[in-house]
Amino acid sequence: MVRQRIANPSFSGSTPLAASSSPWRRAILLPLLLMILAAAACAAGYLLGDPSAILRKAASVCLECIGIG
């Protein structure tokens, strides 16, 4: 008996791996995950006091630009 090779075998989408890697889910989940991570990074920066440090640095750079600082 000779086995015949199939170039592109058809896969059923019933496996969890195939269902989770569908293009539309990936197109929705990746940006959503990145937005959640960005929001978490912004919240962590705010809680650690970065806004005051950034304002202080910006004021000193501005004052240096006009020749006062």
- In tens, the pLDDT along 11-28 reads 555 555 545 567 778 888
Distance of CA 39 to the CA centre of its chain: 10
Q: Measuring CA to CA, how many Å separate 5 from each of 2, 9, 10, 47, 63?
A: 10, 9, 12, 60, 74
Helices (H) and strands (E) in the chain, counts: 3, 0
**pLDDT confidence bin for 41, thresholds 50/70/90:** very high
CA 55 to chain centre: 26
* pLDDT of 56 over the 80 cut: yes
Look over the chain and give the mean of its residue pLDDT values, rounded to a whole number.
79
**Predicted pLDDT at 48:** 92
Tokens of 50: 């970065």
Task: Give me the sign of the Cα torsion angle 35, 51, 49, 68.
Answer: positive
Reported pTM? 0.48
pLDDT number for residue 62: 83
